[in-house]
Amino acid sequence: MAEILFYVLSALALLTGFGVVLAKSPMMSILSLLGSFFCLAVIYLLAGFQFLAAAQILVYAGAILVLFLFVIMLLNLGDMGVVAERSNSFLDSTAARLGAALAVGLGVIGLVAASKAAFQPAQAEPGKALDGLEAIALQLFGRYSLAFEAASILLLATMVAVIALAKRQRKSGQNPTQNGGRA
Amino acid sequence: MGGTWLLWFIPLLPLFGAAACGLIHFATLAAQKGDGSGKRPSALAPLVACAAIAGSLGLSIAAFKELAALPADARVIESAVWEWIHAGSLKLDISLVVDPLSAVMLLVVTGVGFLIHVYSAGYMKGDPGYAKFFAYLNLFVFSMLMLVLSSSLVGLFVGWEGVGLCSYLLIGFWYEKGWPAEAGQKAFIANRVGDASFLIGSFILIKLFGTLDMSDINAAVAGVASDPAKAWWLTVGALCLFGGCTGKSAQLPLFTWLPDAMAGPTPVSALIHAATMVTAGVYLVVRLNPVFAADPAVMTVIGTVGALTALIGGTSAIFQRDIKKVLAYSTVSQLGYMFLGLGSGAFASAIFHLVTHAFFKGLLFLGAGSVIHGMHDEQDMHKMGGLKHHMPKTFATFLAGAAALSGLPLLSGFFSKDEILAHTFAHGGFHQVLWGIGIVTAAITAYYTWRMVALTFFGKERFDHHHVHPHESPAVMWVPLAVLAVLSVFGGVLGLPPVFHVAHQLETWLEPVTAPGKALLAMHGTHTLSHAAEWALLGLGSVIALVFATLGFRAYVGGTARDENVERTKPALADFLVGAWKIDAKYYAVIVYPAKLVAFVTAVFVDQFAIDGLVNGAGGLATATGNRLKILVDGSLKSYALWIGAGAVLLAFLWMFV
Amino acid sequence: MNVPSEHLLYLAAGLFAIGVLGFLIRRNVIVVLMCIELMLNAANLTFLAASRQHSTAQAANLDGPVFAIFVILVAACEAAVGLALIIALFRLKQSVEADSLSEMKG
Amino acid sequence: MDQLTLITFLPLVGALLVLLTPASQEKALRAIALVTTLVVAVLGVQLYLAFDGSSAALQFLVDKAWFVLPGSAIPVRYKLGVDGLSILMVALTAVMMPTVILSTWGHVHKRVKEFMLWMLVMQTGMLGVFVAHDLVLFYFFWEVSLIPLYFIVGIWGGERRLYATIKFFLYTLAGSLVMLVAVIAIIYQFRTADIPTLCEQASSLALSKQVWLFAAFALAFSIKVPLLPFHTWLADAHTEAPTSGSVVLAGVLLKMGTYGLLRFGIDMFPGAALEHAPLFMALGAIGIVYGAFLAMAQTDVKRLIACSSVSHLGYVVLGMFALTYAGLSGSILQMVNHGISTGLLFLLIGMIYERRHTRALDQFGGIAATMPIFAFFLVFTVLSSAALPGLNGFVGEYLILLGAFQAKPLWAIIAVLGVIFGAVYLLMATRRVLFGPVTHEENKHLEDLNAREVVLMLPLVILAVWIGFQPKPFLDRTQGSLERLVQKIEVARGAQNASLEVPTTEESVR
């Protein structure tokens, strides 16, 4: 049962992934991405990573994608507005062929590498949670405490950076081009 | 002189004097800047300087007395050791040694030096660099004393270069005029050429003996010379050291700086370029006499160089119009005599001539200085004449010096010069040819000396009476002249020839120093002269001196007509002789200008064009390649990502399939 | 779930390739950013697959999940900064096309 | 804190203080830099006095774990120490910097803060190079000392400063990279980065491998020295650098090259050094004469001195690769001497440049009359540079030439020509600057040196006289290490001779 669910979800994740790339409107891309993330979350759950599955939903779907959504709406890009006028295609035709070839190449390499790995069957007990909350917490505040603290600094720096970048300079409001350049 | 540290004060007193005078000089400059009345501090300088030299002289005399009190074979006083350079097993230490040879030099340097200091107090009065002058003079005496007192060749070299430096500074003393500075530079560089040779010589000695202590070297020479493999090096080393002597003592091929050195103040010419510094080469040969005596070929080279230099110097003096140039070429010539004597193994005679030469040539230079001073800085003898009435004291003393230089019988120069010639003659073989050159030079010497006397003090007064008022110099100047005149006249008693049946005082005194060299020479045969031959040589010397002195005097007592006659009828000859056989001009054409050209070619073509061209070419290649590859960097985010991805794929393929 | 870990990796490879494809061929910078998120997810999946493989019945291997957490964190930061940059870019060029960013031209 | 860490990083602390001081407070900035360097100088002298020259061991040793090279178990340690090869360099670096900082009063007027910052950072780098005894640490300091000069020349330099900086930077960087390759190779070869251990073990390496590593190190350091064909960056860098930059460059930075040759060329690979000594002696001796000829043809005083540096450093290399005790000790002393004499020359030229704003020889003449104190110092320095006995230059040159003569008389004789040419170009330049009539109106009213300018030169002048009259204490400091080094060379020489003799014995057997 779980196996079948996994393969179905995998196929769905890949399909929605393609949707991200191929959707004309950014809005559709977002929605596809959301779908893909949900599928992945369930796959995590199936594989025994309950906490990760929750984090995936909360952080990715709940926070990051909403952020994307906000920006799209803020810039009013929902229907490709400005962008569509400038270019014939939403795809970069020159890079498209090379890019496709490259992506296929990478994909093939990934597949071959994975198939060559010759794993033993997984030892973990199916269905049992691998990432118990307590165990994860012990790891994070024990062995990885330094990285954890560094991560907090990274977050702080990100916050400062984002404010600095997105803030409108008040002084020379008349010229938006310059403004953007300095901001 | 019980305390051996006391010996160090002989050179150090003048050094302190130099430092004090230097400070006085700067104090004077500061005072001048302040209120313009800056003369007062500089008046102290001669007192300080003379006191320093007088102190040295006193200590020297004390050292001499103590030395004389010792038994003849133990006459060495050594000072405490100054540990200078230690590098592994090599220890270059310097101590001061007073032995018979250095005692003689010590007395000459401090004695004549003191007189010249006193004289300078009068001569340089009023010069803006009054105190500086004494600083340099004292520094010179310090260096010269280091040179003669040092026990080690490297210590000697300290003094050797030090006197060169002072010579440079003093020749260029009146640097504002330009050419004195150039003359100083020329002197320093010519000396440097010799010094380079000296350095190589010292390396060879270290290689052979493992030390530079000269008494150790002298003691070990006999052993080294008997080893054929080392004897060859010893010969080369001796020649290299002699190369150093040719620079310092103005011998062929490096003598050309000395005539130019007359650009310095006259007391400098007297002290450095006549009495002391230029005799350093002679001192060195005598000091290391076994090293030179080990190979007779070296001795022959020394004698030949000496004889040729004597001849070239003498002939070049004949038609000079500048009184100091005459004396300069005469000095070159007389130094040649000393080396002629050294080449025949007459070490004591060379020192004897060195001493008498210091007296009479110092006297002549100072006399010339007195004349120049009295004539308001006129040096051209054609514009003098008849000065004996105006400056009688200078005239009288000058006459004594001239008589000694020309070797008139019974004066100091007569004995010392004839002793050298006698030894050369007695040495036999090729040296008799050299003797011939020597005797010709003696004739020439007598001729130009009396030409000079005649042109300067006799005949019509050829100067402009409206502008020039010849006057006698003050006592501070003529008293030293008188002292030197007495020494020039009676200096001969130091070394009377054997025919007088009196012991040769100087030779006996120097015996402990010269014995090892003589012993080495004796291995190749000894030479003595019969009394009859000696009488004959003395007679010949007297006759030649008297005859040519008379000729020279008679030719010029009436005026300058003779010179003008020669210039008119034989311009090439006059030009050749005045230009010192055109050797200096040759150097410029063959060495100096090509060197400058090579320097220019090196800097512009080799360095800028070739080497730097290659460097910049490498840079240019990189830039050109970069320009070609620039297309790849088109600024598009996509293409960068593409390249990164392509690289990743490539690496992954390599990792997986290779 | 008894799916072999290779199959998780196959899925990861597929997602990653799709992400690369989108990154390279899309002009819209926002979509490019989304593709990066997709690639990061593929990476996460790989971590988790490895962790699952190395876990035994007795002891779970927790390096994978911890790394995944950090990746999510970095992804959040990246998205925030990236989007801020997009806003700035939009102000500057009135466009969100990647091609309009070619100031780095050598 | 231990002495060496203190002395090495104190300038960096000073730099931090400078960083925290507002740029407008120029006086305070200068004072901070001066006080820092003075304290370092005092510490340096203390270190020098406390150093025991008879021992070959590393002294004032600091040895702490630092990190392990990723992917291997090779430890990189924080290891500082001085021995006889480096003590004089450390002392020189410490003593010279106050002079350098004080000299900037006259010519650095813009962006004082940055200037002081770079100077202090550079001092830490230079001191670090001389005290580091871990290869990774050494390389780190080496690069740290390289960068500040790039800015010093590039920002405060003369007209063609960009050309000069790029040339200087690329040239030295190329050398550094070659060295980096060798550093990595040798670390992984012996699985340690500890310099003393490497020095012990590297000579056991097969000669064919030694030669390659030696060549890489030697190339890097030869560029820095700079040895003959790599010298062209020096003239440009010196000419364009501000006075203080030139002084540091000549005084200390170039010595890093010669020190490197000594430590990594000879101490680490005695066999290879022995093999290639004739080449280096030849390059040194030719460099002496070549540099002298270059100097003779220059019309820019500063460029002339830069060319003379090429000549003087030729002596250092010549003496070093004579591989005799006299040559080695002479070349170490000559490194100090060159720093003193050439540093003084650059200072003096800087002072006259500040007054006349030109360095062309034909713009001067007769300055001795208007600036007697300047003239005194210039003549003094020229004589020290021309190796007058009784001043510092002579002792070094004499030992070098003697050492070279013991090893290869031919090159010593060629180098002796440099003694002559050295006097020629130095005296020619002196005469054209100082002597003769005053031909330019501007030269008639020049201010003589002021108290600051005299004071800043005094330490170097005193050192010049001191080394000239009493070189023994300085030479004694190097004794223990040099004895060790010479012994090592003798062992290598023995091995070489043995390998040369093998075929002949085989032939005789046949």
> Who among B638, B646, B649 is closest to A92 (CB)?
B638
B649–A102: do the CB atoms touch at under 8 Å? yes
What does the pLDDT read at residue B85? 85
Neighbours of chain A (3+ CB pairs under 8 A): B, C
Neighbours of chain D (3+ CB pairs under 8 A): B
Q: How far apart are the first and last CA of chain A?
A: 54
Closest Cα to residue B454, out of B524, B418, B402? B402
B638–C99: do the CB atoms touch at under 8 Å? yes
What does the pLDDT read at residue D254? 92
Tell me the average pLDDT across B305-325.
91
Residues in B touching D413 (Cβ below 8 Å): 200
> Who among B642, B649, B656 is closest to A113 (CB)?
B656
Of the segments B35-49, B80-94, D393-407, which one has the largest average pLDDT value?
D393-407
Confidence of residue A126 (pLDDT cuts 50, 70, 90): low
The per-residue pLDDT of chain D, averaged, comes to 89
Specify whether the CB–CB gap between D244 and D108 falls below 8 A: yes
What would the pLDDT profile of B270-295 be if each residue is shown by its tens digit? 888 888 889 999 999 999 999 998 88
What would the pLDDT profile of B105-127 be if each residue is shown by its tens digit? 999 999 999 999 999 998 888 88
pLDDT above 80: residue B68: yes
Residues in C touching A89 (Cβ below 8 Å): 27
pLDDT above 60: residue A177: no
A119–C17: do the CB atoms touch at under 8 Å? no
pLDDT above 50: residue B178: yes
What does the pLDDT read at residue A88? 52
Confidence of residue D383 (pLDDT cuts 50, 70, 90): very high
Tell me the average pLDDT across B335-349.
90
Q: How close does chain B come to C74, measured CA to CA in Å?
A: 20
Residues in B touching D383 (Cβ below 8 Å): 165
The per-residue pLDDT of chain B, averaged, comes to 87
pLDDT above 80: residue B651: yes
Specify whether the CB–CB gap between B173 and B135 falls below 8 A: no
Residues in B touching D368 (Cβ below 8 Å): 175
CA distances from D89 to D95, D145, D259, D289 (A): 10, 15, 8, 26
Optimal mutation site among B632, B636, B642, interface C, most CBs of chain C within 10 A: B636
Specify whether the CB–CB gap between B217 and B228 falls below 8 A: no
pLDDT above 50: residue D360: yes
CATH class of C5-96: mainly alpha
Distance CA B172, CA B185 (A): 8
What would the pLDDT profile of B551-562 be if each residue is shown by its tens digit? 999 888 888 888
Confidence of residue D495 (pLDDT cuts 50, 70, 90): confident
- Please list the alpha-helical segments (H only) found in B249-346: 257-260, 266-270, 280-287, 289-293, 296-317, 323-343
Task: Extract the tokens encoding D115.
Answer: 């200037």
Q: Nearest-CA residue of chain C relative to A90?
A: C27
Q: How close does chain B come to C24, measured CA to CA in Å?
A: 6
> Who among B642, B652, B653 is closest to A98 (CB)?
B642
Q: What is the DSSP string of D309-333?
A: HHHHHHHHHHHHHHTSHHHHHHHHH
Confidence of residue B333 (pLDDT cuts 50, 70, 90): very high
What does the pLDDT read at residue B149? 92
pLDDT above 60: residue B171: yes
**Axis crossing angle, helix D161-190 with helix D207-224, rounded to the nearest 10:** 160
Provide Rg for chain C, Cα atoms: 17
Q: What is the DSSP letter of D64?
A: E
Contacts of D68 (CB under 8 A, 6+ apart): D74, D75, D76
Contacts of B600 (CB under 8 A, 6+ apart): D297
Q: What is the DSSP string of B321-390?
A: -BHHHHHHHHHHHHHHHHHHHHHTT-HHHHHHHHHHHHHHHHHHHHHHHHHHHHTTS--BGGG---TTTT
Tell me the average pLDDT across D9-28.
91
B645–A95: do the CB atoms touch at under 8 Å? no
Of the segments A127-136, D249-258, D491-500, which one has the largest average pLDDT value?
D249-258
Residues in D touching B42 (Cβ below 8 Å): none
Optimal mutation site among B636, B638, B651, B654, interface A, most CBs of chain A within 10 A: B638
Tell me the average pLDDT across A98-108.
79
Percent of chain D's residues with pLDDT above 70: 98
Chains B and D touch (3+ CB pairs under 8 A): yes
What does the pLDDT read at residue A170? 59
Closest Cα to residue D53, out of D492, D471, D400? D471
More confident residue, A20 or A93: A20
Distance CA D162, CA D168 (A): 10
CA distances from B255 to B200, B340, B467 (A): 20, 15, 36
Residues in D touching B86 (Cβ below 8 Å): 472, 475-476
Q: How close does chain B come to D276, measured CA to CA in Å?
A: 23
Whether the bond into B253 is cis, omega within 30 of 0: yes
Task: Extract the tokens encoding D494.
Answer: 């023995």
Task: Extract the tokens encoding B115.
Answer: 């007189």
Residues in B touching D167 (Cβ below 8 Å): 615, 619
Q: Nearest-CA residue of chain D relative to B612?
A: D232
Specify whether the CB–CB gap between B282 and B335 falls below 8 A: yes
Q: Nearest-CA residue of chain B relative to A115?
A: B656
Q: What is the DSSP string of B51-115?
A: HHHHHHHHHHHHHHHHHHHS-GGG--EE---EEEEEETTEEEEE-BEE-HHHHHHHHHHHHHHHH
Distance CA A180, CA B517 (A): 97
D419–B178: do the CB atoms touch at under 8 Å? no
Tell me the average pLDDT across D393-405.
92
What does the pLDDT read at residue B471? 83
Residues in B touching A95 (Cβ below 8 Å): 638-639, 642
> Who among D170, D294, D419 is closest to B199 (CB)?
D419
Tell me the average pLDDT across B33-46.
71
What does the pLDDT read at residue B39? 54
What would the pLDDT profile of D98-123 be if each residue is shown by its tens digit? 999 999 988 888 888 999 999 999 99
Distance CA D444, CA D61 (A): 56
What does the pLDDT read at residue D37? 94
Chains A and B touch (3+ CB pairs under 8 A): yes
Tell me the average pLDDT across A168-175.
55
Chains B and C touch (3+ CB pairs under 8 A): yes
Distance CA D431, CA D365 (A): 7
A102–B652: do the CB atoms touch at under 8 Å? no
Tell me the residues of chain B between 609 and 648 that have a Cβ less than 8 Å away from chain C: 630, 633-638, 640-642, 645
Burial class of A160 by CB neighbour count within 10 A (0 to 12, 13 to 18, 19+): exposed
**Per mean pLDDT, which range of B236-250, C91-105, D19-33 is the poorest?**
C91-105
Task: Extract the tokens encoding B299.
Answer: 């001795």
A92–C93: do the CB atoms touch at under 8 Å? no
What does the pLDDT read at residue A169? 64
User: SS3 for B433?
Assistant: helix
Stated pTM of the model: 0.82
What does the pLDDT read at residue D291? 92
Q: How close does chain B come to D195, measured CA to CA in Å?
A: 25
Going along B95-229, which residue ranges are E strands?
Answer: 97-98
pLDDT above 50: residue D339: yes
Residues in D touching B605 (Cβ below 8 Å): none
- Residue for token pair 């780190």: D140
CA distances from B491 to B320, B328, B511 (A): 28, 22, 19
**Per mean pLDDT, which range of B74-83, B439-448, B649-658 is the poorest?**
B649-658
